[in-house]
Amino acid sequence: MALNPMHQFEVYKIGPEINLGKINLSFTNASLFMTISAMLILILLFFGTKKKSLIPSKIQLVTEMSYTFVAKMINDTAGTSAKSFFPFIFTLFMFILFCNMVGMMPYSFTVTSHIIVTFILAAFIFVGVTVVGFVKHGIKYLELFVPKGVPIVLLPLIVIIEIISYLSRPVSLSVRLFANMMAGHTMLKVFGGFVISLGLIGGWLPLSFSVALTGLEILVAFLQAYVFAILTCIYLNDALNLHH
């Protein structure tokens, strides 16, 4: 069990089984770690904004930095018209970041290493961005699929390619986060298994690799949350400003 690198991804239920019709709604370890991440964000923001002093304490500094980081990201990629989407992007970024970071703790569970979690996040973004585009531009939003200056003969082909490109957004968004998290955690566990099987004499090399990989994984955990949020901003920019 300790040597199986895929064992960490197992989902099991905690407490009683809850069935709603045919849907299994039991509380699992995945739901537990999502709740933990959400609670950690709430705690950070609560204590970070409690005492608003001019010279910030460390926790207030972290909160303010995360605010300015996301605000600057939205401003740079989607422009000022996307300012009203700040709460959404901020929630998304913080949730993914905390899920990834909580997953870096030993004995914890990485929620984002399951494709269903990341795909649902990406699918909601995809639907939301499409709805925003149609609300803002009406039927003119379909112009996104018709690039300017294309000869009419080529137009049917180009439109299909553009539609495939548009539909591939949620897939690439979700697969990127899922694959990076799963590959990284599997690799960590594989090297951890080498330490045990090689024993006291040969185990030092994989142990040092393991330490280095942990550092890399923390970087990847942050980067993937950042990339997820920034791509959401880019898609929002396409929907709001209607150009590529």
Partner 1 sequence: MKNLKEISTRLESAKKNINKREKINKSSNAASLGKALKISTELVAAVVVGTTIGFLLDNWFGTKPLLTICFFIMGVAAGILNVFRSAKRMHKKL
Comparing CA positions, the residue from 129, 139, 128, 224 lying closest to residue 173 is: 224
**Encoded tokens for 77:** 């990629």
- Check residue 230 for interaction with partner 1 (CB under 8 A): yes
- Check residue 165 for interaction with partner 1 (CB under 8 A): yes
Q: Using the rule CB under 8 A, which residue among 88, 137, 226, 242 binds partner 1? A: 226
Q: Tell me how far CA of residue 49 lies from CA of 53, 62, 63, 97, 203, in angstroms.
A: 9, 10, 7, 20, 46
- Check residue 154 for interaction with partner 1 (CB under 8 A): no
- Stretch in the footprint of partner 1 (CB under 8 A) among 40-48, 83-91, 200-208, 216-224: 216-224
**Encoded tokens for 209:** 């690799």
- Check residue 227 for interaction with partner 1 (CB under 8 A): yes
List, in order, residues 6 or more apart from 126 with CB less than 8 Å away: 169, 170, 173, 235
- Tell me the C-alpha distance between 98 and 96, whole Å: 5
- Check residue 244 for interaction with partner 1 (CB under 8 A): yes
Which residues share a beta bridge with 24?
Answer: 19
- Stretch in the footprint of partner 1 (CB under 8 A) among 19-27, 47-55, 100-108, 230-238: 230-238
- Check residue 127 for interaction with partner 1 (CB under 8 A): no
- Check residue 164 for interaction with partner 1 (CB under 8 A): yes
- Tell me the C-alpha distance between 213 and 205, whole Å: 12
Name the residue nearer to partner 1 (CB basis): 30 or 221.
Answer: 221
Name the residue nearer to partner 1 (CB basis): 164 or 201.
Answer: 164
What minimum distance in Å lies between the beta carbon of 184 and partner 1? Answer: 12
- Tell me the C-alpha distance between 112 and 118, whole Å: 6
- Check residue 3 for interaction with partner 1 (CB under 8 A): no
- Check residue 153 for interaction with partner 1 (CB under 8 A): no
- Tell me the C-alpha distance between 229 and 73, whole Å: 9
- Check residue 223 for interaction with partner 1 (CB under 8 A): yes
- Check residue 116 for interaction with partner 1 (CB under 8 A): no
Helices (H), 57-154: 58-78, 86-103, 115-137
| Site for partner 1, rule CB under 8 A | 157, 160-162, 164-165, 167-169, 171-172, 175-176, 179-180, 219, 222-224, 226-227, 230-231, 234, 244
